[in-house]
Structure 1
Amino acid sequence: MKYNTELLHRVSLGDEIAFRKLFDAFHPNVYTTVFRITNDEYIAEDVVQDTFLKVWMNRVDLDEIENFEGWLYTIARNITFNILKKGKNYKQYLAEEGESSLLRIYSNTDYDVQDKDFQNLLQKAIHRLPPKQQQTYKLLKEQYLKRKEVAQILNVSPETVKYNIDQAMKSIRAYCLAHMKDMPLVLLLHFYSKYF
């Protein structure tokens, strides 16, 4: 894992470019670790987003952490177990936890404006999807159905459902990133975990 104390120090000072480098370095391994525990790619991605949101919220302490990698995986493990305890309500749990943390930095008004902007942008991105991808996204991400359930409803194979949601997510993420370039990365991570 490539990172150094200088990178952590830059993150501790609020450097978003350094934070993005840290995220890129650790994202794959955190995702794989959580996926092994949950066997659920969507939960794994949510845990990654929320883990790095917590890293950002606690960035001022990064210089004091002797084993960053161990600390990071402890955060991811704790979030994972909390999600598993919450069952189907895990999305609400993540959203509430993330929002609570962000409100320590952003005022209610600022957060609400950004949240509304992101919701509008997300809806535009969803409406641009082909019909099958739209249906798949809504069933998986808004109704929280399992892949097999969606496959039965749409009368397609689970592999087709996976392909459609993967394509939908790529398209949505690309559209949102292209239209919210000035939004802080930490807010984007939060909104991804809240709405994706």
Structure 2
Amino acid sequence: MNQQRLLFGILEQLKLKQKHMRSKRYTNSVDTPIKQRTFIIVDEGAELSPDIVGSNTEAKQYAKFCQGALSEIARIGGALGYRLIFCTQYTTAQAVPMQVKMNIVARLSFVAAAQISSRVILDDVGAEELPSIPGRAIYKVEKNRIVQVPYINDSFMFKHLEGLQHVIINTK
């Protein structure tokens, strides 16, 4: 499983960076000359939920490892310059691990089907009442803000990412 190897590698990098920062007496990458940030993007995090993947024992073990790794990245990665972007369309408590949710700095919710979905992502209602305008969302850091984000189609994305394959890891 490529994702499992990738997450294991990220955890190893995390431990090395933590050791390096301790040796320099750094407590947070923000307060250091280190400018590099590593973004870990999980597209459809619900696929990594042991409660959702089905009854296959191997799939459940895999999902438990992935959720544990993402929880560790969310808990200690921020101070080390790692930024977790966790995405899901299946907004239930089972899809968003509590350790990840509690360490999310910013949240973005597009139109939600129900109040419960809005509460899972934002810890607040409101996303279920957003108008049906593509790209309309609620962005939350310390408070909710209604924002408009652009729609980026595949051709635009591929055109602008051309030549950047060396910095993008795709496990598909």
TM-score normalised by structure 1 residue count = 0.26
Higher relative contact order (CA 8 A, sep 6+): 1
Higher strand share: 2
Higher helix share: 1
